[in-house]
Chain A
Amino acid sequence: MLDADFIRSRILEALPGSEVEVRDTTGTGDHFEARVVSPDFAGKMMVQQHKLVYAPLQTWLQTGELHALALKTYSPEQWKKLGNR
Chain B
Amino acid sequence: MTPELKARFDQITQSHPIVLFMKGNALFPQCGFSARALSLLQPHGEVFTVDVLADPEVRQGIKDYTNWPTIPQIFIRGQFIGGSDILGELAERGELADLVAGKSPA
Q: B-contacting residues of A (Cβ < 8 Å)? A: 45-47, 50-51, 61, 70-72, 77-78, 81-82
Contact = CB atoms under 8 A, between A and B. Distances in A.
B40 interface: no
| Chain B, interface SS category | mixed
Categorize the interface residue count of chain B.
10 to 19
Interface stretch (B4-12, B15-23, B53-61, B83-91): B83-91
B81 interface: yes
Contacts of A70: 85
A46 B106 contact: no
Contacts of B93: 82
A47 B69 CA distance: 12
27 contacts: A45-B79, A45-B81, A45-B82, A45-B105, A46-B81, A46-B82, A46-B86, A46-B89, A46-B90, A46-B105, A47-B68, A47-B80, A47-B81, A47-B82, A47-B86, A50-B82, A50-B86, A51-B67, A51-B68, A61-B69, A70-B85, A71-B85, A72-B89, A77-B106, A78-B106, A81-B106, A82-B93
Contacts of A81: 106
A45 B93 CA distance: 13
Contacts of A51: 67-68
Interface of B: 67-69, 79-82, 85-86, 89-90, 93, 105-106
A67 B86 CA distance: 17
Nearest to B95: A46
Contacts of B79: 45
